[in-house]
Structures are given as structure tokens and as C-alpha cells.
Amino acid sequence: MPERSRVMRTDTSRIPSVLAPALAAVGTAAVWGFARARRRTAERLAAATLETLLNAIDANDHETGAHVRRVADYALLLARAAGLDERAQREVERVALFHDVGKIHEALFDIVHDDDKLTPEERDAIATHPGRGAEVLAPLCAFYPELPDGVIAHHERWDGGGYPNGLRGEQIPRVARIVAIADTFDAVTHSRRYRAGADPARGAQVIAEGRGRQFDPELADLFLSPRVYAQVVKRLKAAQREADRPQAPRAASAERRERKRESGVPSVSFRWRGRGAARGQPAR
């Protein structure tokens, strides 16, 4: 009997060491599952934030909202033609949709909504929008790392003469090089408040003239290739038909802001902290 008890105690003492790897695996799986669930929740919140930003662009200026969607359409056509995989195409689409998010900064509100042609001073102010946009999107870079870098670089030039950082050639992120072509084509071919849009042939001419200077030459050639260009023109005409539909009269900027103030509806704007500002305080 004593011997039997000794054997049983020996077997029992071995059980924890036998189960230890399995228990460790279960614990690791539980922690990993919890972390994955938290990650998915954070991803959903990040996606909801992007949706809110896109709605803010529309609310701040309908024309800018329509512009970024057309740019995304053209940029996706070019990305697919360039052979980018599905993930890279989604990155191009996101940068295209948010490349002008910096324009909803309150400092640019009156300029964006002005019906007159921009003055040199106003052009300088508008030129700050890539940096402002990148700052808005920086908190989301853990989920969308291409967004801040792509947005801040969409006005860089292949020859190094762009802004804000004077990047040259392949120093410019590929996603920004794609969006730059789509953005320019739409800017030329679509009407602004102070001028009528040009025809697609003029848009193509501007891209061709900027080849190797403003734009990546290979991407410019691809954009102007018969297959891609035909698709771009088809999308352009569809967008123009949509724009020609009767719209409600647009209120003047001052009237619109006054109506918001009287109705208690807050203006859609962003305030960023300056580098030296205290936490929670708006930048001056």
C-alpha cells in the first residue's frame, strides 16, 4: 500500500508538466484572440472615421466632395492598368478620396468658397492643404500608413519643383504620383466657380506636356494609352451628365455661414494643436 501511494503521488506530480505546453497554448490563443478582437474594433473605428471625414468634405464644400470622387475614379483606372494588386488599389483610392481633406481647415474656408479667381496670397494659403491634410490623417497611419505620406505628396513634381517638400522622381510615393495625374486631369476638365472646364483633349494635352516634368513619365504614358484614356473619358462624361442635373441654388458663403450660426449647426472645420500648444488647446 505505501508503495502504491508513492506511485500515485509520482504520477500526479507529473500532470502539470505534461499539461503545461497545452495550457500555455490555450493562454496564448486567448490573449491573441482578445488582441485580434480589439484590433478589429479599432479597424472599424478607423474606417468609420474615414467615412466621417468624407462626409465632412461633402458638407464643407460639395464641389470638393464631387472632385475627390472623380479623382478616385480616374486614379483607380490608372492603378489597375499599372498592374497594382487589390490592396495597393485600395490605397490609391483612399489617398485620392482624402487628398484634399486639408482644404476643410477653417483657415481655408473662405478661400475655397470664394467665387473669384484666387489671388497669389490665396494660392499660397491653399498650398498649405497637403500638409494640413496629412496632419489630420496622421492618427490613422497605424491602419492606413499610405494616407499621410500620399496626401502630403500629391502636389510634388517629378522634376523636384513641387511642394511642400520638393521631392523628385521615385522619392514621391507611387500612390501620390498616380493621384497627381488624376487630380490634374480633373482640375483641367471640370468647371470651377470662376471658369469653365476644358474638353478631355485639353486635359490629355496637359498630362502629355507634364510628362517627365510634373508627372511620372511611365504613368503619364499609361494614362494616355488608348485603352485607359477611353475609360477615363467615359467616366468623365458620366460625371458631367450627373453635374448637369438641376441642383438647388447654392447660397453665398456669408449667407450660408449666417444660416448655420442662427440654426445652431456647427461649422465643419478642424483645429490642430500647434507643436507648442498645450494638450486640448487649439493651435493659434
- Where in the sequence numbering do the catalytic residues fall? 103
Residue 84 identity (one-letter amino acid): L
**C-alpha cell of residue 165:** 517638400
First to last CA, the chain: 86
| Alpha carbon distance 175, 252 (integer Å) | 36
Residue 163 identity (one-letter amino acid): Y
Which run of H or E residues covers position 146? helix 146-152
- Cα-Cα-Cα-Cα torsion 77, 80, 85, 89, nearest 10 degrees, comes to -10
Which run of H or E residues covers position 174? helix 174-189
**C-alpha cell of residue 209:** 506636356
Residue 274 identity (one-letter amino acid): G
* 3-state SS assignment for residue 215: strand
**How many helices (DSSP H) and strands (DSSP E) are in the chain?**
12, 0
Residue 197 identity (one-letter amino acid): G
5 backbone dihedrals φ, ψ, rounded to 5°: -65, -40
